[in-house]
Chains A and B, each alone.
Chain A
Amino acid sequence: MRVIRSMILGLLLGAIVGLYFGWGQFPAESRNSGLSDLARPFRDDYIVMVAAGYAVDGDVDGVSQRLSRLGIDDAPSAIRESAERIIHSSARGLADIGLLVHLADGLGQLTQPMQPFLDVNRERA
Chain B
Amino acid sequence: MQRDLRPQPVKTASTPEIGYFSAWVFAFCLIVGMALGIGFTRVYGPWQRGNAEPWQLRPEDRNHYMIAIALEYAHSGDTAKALDKLIALRPDGDPLSQLAEGACALGSRGYLGSESGIRALRSAVALYAPQGRAGCAEELLPPLATEVATEVNLAQTPEAQQSTPLPTKRPLQDALLATPTPRYRPALPAPRNFEVLSVRSFCELTRPALIEVFVVDYLGRGIPGQRIRVRWGDREDIFVSGLKAERGDAYADFQMEENINYAIDMVGADDALGTRLSTDACYTENRRSLKSYRVTFVER
Quick check: B47 and A27 within 8 Å, CB to CB? yes
The 9 A-B pairs at the shortest CB distance, nearest first, are namely A18-B37, A14-B33, A22-B41, A10-B29, A62-B116, A53-B71, A33-B52, A52-B75, A49-B68
Q: Hey, which bits of chain A sit against chain B, CB under 8 A?
A: 2-3, 5-23, 27-39, 42, 45-46, 48-50, 52-53, 55-57, 59, 61-62, 65-66, 69, 99
Q: Contacts of B72 on A, CB cut-off 8 Å? A: 48-49, 52-53
Chain B's interface size range is 35 or more
Min CB gap B80→A, angstroms: 15
- The chain A residue sitting closest to B47, CB to CB, is A23
Min CB gap B263→A, angstroms: 49
B contacts with A: majority SS: helix
- The chain A residue sitting closest to B88, CB to CB, is A42
Asked if B159 is at the interface of the complex by the 8 Å CB criterion, the answer is no
Contact A37 to B21, CB < 8 A, known contacts A15-B34, A28-B42: no
Q: Contacts of A65 on B, CB cut-off 8 Å? A: 114, 116
Q: Contacts of A19 on B, CB cut-off 8 Å? A: 37-38, 40-41
Choose among B37, B41, B45, B115 the residue that contacts A14 (Cβ–Cβ < 8 A). B37
Contact A31 to B29, CB < 8 A, known contacts A22-B38, A46-B68, A53-B123: no
Quick check: A55 and B75 within 8 Å, CB to CB? yes
CA distance A46 to B61 in the complex (A): 11
Q: Hey, which bits of chain B sit against chain A, CB under 8 A?
A: 19-23, 25-42, 45-58, 61, 64-65, 68-69, 71-72, 74-76, 85, 114-117, 119-120, 123
Quick check: B68 and A66 within 8 Å, CB to CB? yes
CA distance A36 to B54 in the complex (A): 11
Contact A10 to B28, CB < 8 A, known contacts A22-B38, A22-B42, A23-B41: yes
- The chain B residue sitting closest to A7, CB to CB, is B29
CA distance A14 to B26 in the complex (A): 9
Quick check: A6 and B58 within 8 Å, CB to CB? no
Contact A10 to B68, CB < 8 A, known contacts A32-B58, A33-B61, A55-B75: no
CA distance A26 to B123 in the complex (A): 38
